[in-house]
Structure 1
Amino acid sequence: MDNAHLTRKQHEFFTFIVDYKKENEVWPTYREIADHFGYASPNSVTQNIQALLKKGYLVKRNDEEYDLPSDKKSLLGETEEQEGIPVRGLIAAGSLQEAVEANLGSITLDTLFPDLDDLFALRVTGFSMKDVGIYDGDFVLLMDTDVKNGDIGAVLYDGETSLKKIYWDDNGLRLEPANEEYDDIIIEPDVFEEVRIIGKYIGHVNRQGFQRAIPLVA
């Protein structure tokens, strides 16, 4: 299940159960959660648990208990040895040299993405960005960082999200698709406060693997 953004209340719920697990080494009971948040019924706890399962922040174990997925284990201070691409030796990039084979460790996600903590992924629905190689079903990688004029980014507006090229000036915000079959989305300056830039596009993943974003030419 793809991770999705949590509402404020879901984030508070998730933070509480994770902090409880870190402190007590067990998950809180439904009654303890209900008492903490003042829920009248444990049904409210069930609804929040189901929402976190659906959004990928929790997973079901074989014993039907919930747990954190592997990519969030670090929130509990638990780390798993990362698998990676093995580095099998040295190769010359100058004059020919004797081949040197050795186990030099591996290239992990942390190696490939130094700012891994600032990255997240969303799955694409639709074809408005097909001319830059982003298709329906692809996973776009987004970074929580500043977006420059002309960058591709994910925008949240009026309860809806959109992946577009982002341009802004005194006339407002323009979200430009990369498909001539789609029209630009224009957002007037007086509603800028309702617009949230979710993240900057840095690449996407499809059946061919990882495709890095092409840097803008200055």
Structure 2
Amino acid sequence: MDKVQLTRKQKEFLDYIIEYKNEFDVWPTYREISDEFNYKSPNSVTQNIQALLKKGYLVKGEDDEYDIHPDHEEMLVGRNDGIEVRGVIAAGYLQEAVQADLGKITLETLFPNLDQMFALRVAGMSMKDAGIYDGDFVLLMDSDVKDGDIGAILYDGETSLKRIYYDKNGLRLEPANEEYDTIHVEPDVFEEVRVIGKYIGHVNRNGIHKAF
């Protein structure tokens, strides 16, 4: 199809959502787009999406979500399978530069137990003082959560990411934001709580952050 000319702002908008999609393999939320462009209202996001739909760069996908028009899918660039290791760098005395093909750093390098991991997207700010913000992707492992670890729990049909403590009176689920209340789970409802996974890191536009 013929490309309809975009305004400068529309192109910046399209470039942002494509770059985000390339990096995270999902589309940014309305809040993330609003924060990126300092929009005062989500209506500005809607107006830009509608303009790109009208000009043929976006199409309605499943569940009325937008997607890149098939004729423009080349804008979604392929991702490589790792980061090249090009040699050795001295961290002591100066020494001769050594260049070599030392392979690649992959997700398996960073997270050896990759097959036991999964990710969930964060909705809310209750863990912001732990560096985990709305829209981030938390990396979780299907393993035991020790006292004081951050973990994802399923409680009474609802999920939450909190620091988990095992008290004599049950569980204490502590947020990392003083604006949120601590959740206490008593023994008589303890069976309604299931730990979904242990937090081992999170991913956002600033990179991969591993838990200490």
Give the TM bin, normalised by the shorter chain: 0.5 to 0.7
Shift of 1:96: 2.5
Q: Which amino acid aligns with 1:89?
A: G
Aligned amino acid, residue 208 of structure 1: N
CA deviations over 1:116-153 (Å, ceiling 9, x no partner) = 01111000001111111111101001111111111110
Q: Does 1:186 align with 2:162?
A: no
Secondary structure, in 3 states, of the residue corresponding to 1:97? coil
Three-state SS of the structure 2 residue aligned to 1:117 is helix
Question: Size of the alignment, in residue pairs?
Answer: 139
* Structure 2 partner of 1:10: none
Task: In structure 1, list runs of 5 or more residues that go unmatched.
Answer: 3-52, 55-61, 63-81
Q: CA deviation at 1:192?
A: 1.6
The residue number in structure 2 matching 1:116 is 114
Give the structure 1 partner of residue 174 of structure 2: 176
Give me the whole-angstrom Cα distance separating, in 2, the residues matched to 1:122 and 1:147. Answer: 17
Q: 5 Å matches for 1:9-48?
A: none
Identify the residue that residue 84 of structure 1 maps to in structure 2.
82
**1:211 aligned partner, one-letter code:** H
Aligned CA RMSD, in angstroms, stands at 2.1
Partner residue of 1:163 out of 156, 161, 171: 161
Structure 2 unaligned regions, length at least 5: 1-24, 27-61, 64-69, 71-79
Residues 56-75 of structure 1 correspond to what in structure 2 (within 5 A)? Answer: none
CA distance in 2, matches of 1:148, 1:193: 18
- Specify the alignment match of 1:206 in structure 2: 204
Aligned partners of 1:89 and 1:104 also within 8 Å: yes
Alpha-carbon distance between aligned partners in 1 of 2:91 and 2:206, rounded to the nearest angstrom: 27
Cα deviation for residue 107 of structure 1 reads 1.1
Q: Percent identity?
A: 75
CA distance in 1 between counterparts of 2:128 and 2:89 reads: 38
- Point out 4+ residue stretches in structure 1 off by more than 6 angstroms: none
- How far residue 112 of structure 1 moved from its aligned partner, in angstroms, is 1.1
What CA distance in whole angstroms lies between the structure 1 residues aligned with 2:109 and 2:178? Answer: 37
- Given the two structures, how large is their TM-score scaled by the length of structure 1? 0.59
